[in-house]
Amino acid sequence: MIIGDGYIPYHIRVYVEATSARDFAQFVKIATGLKHEFEHAGRVEHFPEAVIERLAQIPGALQVYPFGGYSAVLGALKMVRAFGARPCGMYGVVGTGPVAEAIQKNLAAEGVALFPTVRTAADSSIEITMIDTRFRFLQEFQIHFLRMRDRSHVLRLDAGQEEAITGFLCSRPNRGRAEVARRLFGRGRLVSVRIHGFSRYVRGEDYLNLLAHAQQVFIRYEEMRQLGPTLGITFPRGWHPTSPDTYIHQFAERLGTYEGGRRLVALAFHRAVFLYVPDLGLVQF
């Protein structure tokens, strides 16, 4: 089984058409008001229909599309499940309520098993992405019914569970994921990490502790700039290449060979993807 561990929200995309940046800002203001309204209520009945209906009423809304349970890790698991018969499962905090029920129903339909590490009394989160089809503006909103401290967890697996695992996917580091990655890596199992976001609680060193036990790494342009100094690389102001340059080669090689490793590194930019392959070097797609 290939497993993932991380955030499990219900994802909804809203496609709008703005005539200007100010127009899009007005859409964002309306959606932000809905976010506060739902959070204040503490629960959304008749989900997802009630939320979809309210979002569809935003002036300029073209389409509201419910993705179901979705995140960086969940998206990867769904893709693995869609292209093969290999079983997949997701660990994480799961709430109690209409949103959590919708997530469980969606994952069951797509063949991804759900393993709650924590079951909370409050409902699961809703993630909304607003995308402008004309100017390509994008804004994300998260509707949380859980307190911040209740949305985190530490993954713990026993030896029997680890024996059945052939692959492990995760994004943000914590001590539970780092320990599971270390043990699975020692068993020769695949460990794949997406570098996703930094904060006062998540530093570059935390990611490197996790990456030391990974064979695959995925990172976007924004996180490259944040992780660079930890690897001894400082990108120049305004740097935004469209083809491989010295900085990309240097960053990819250092990440791919960190702690003596030989790992595949995918670097995603807005209009290009660069892939570092051990022994072959950097390839652009």
Residues 85 and 145 in one domain: yes
Provide the CB-side half-sphere exposure for 57 (13 A, CA): 8
Question: Which pLDDT score, from 0 to 100, does residue 227 have?
Answer: 93
Regions of the chain short of the pLDDT cut 70 = 85, 147-153
Q: Do 172 and 208 touch, CB atoms closer than 8 A?
A: no
Question: Which pLDDT score, from 0 to 100, does residue 112 have?
Answer: 93
Reply yes or no: is the peptide bond before residue 241 cis, omega within 30 of 0.
no
Question: Which pLDDT score, from 0 to 100, does residue 128 have?
Answer: 93
Q: The domain containing residue 214 runs over which residues?
A: 159-284
CA-nearest of 4, 1, 7 to 197 is: 7
CA-nearest of 240, 25, 54 to 138 is: 25
Residues 186 and 262 in one domain: yes
Whole-number Å distance between alpha carbons of 162 and 172: 20
Question: Which pLDDT score, from 0 to 100, does residue 150 have?
Answer: 53
- In single-letter form, the type of residue at position 196 comes to H
Phi, psi of 206 (to 5 degrees): -65, -40
For the chain, the domain total comes to 2
Residues 8 and 134 in one domain: yes
Whole-number Å distance between alpha carbons of 26 and 21: 9
Domain end (from 150, 177, 194) = 150
Residues 139 and 169 in one domain: no
Residues 25 and 143 in one domain: yes
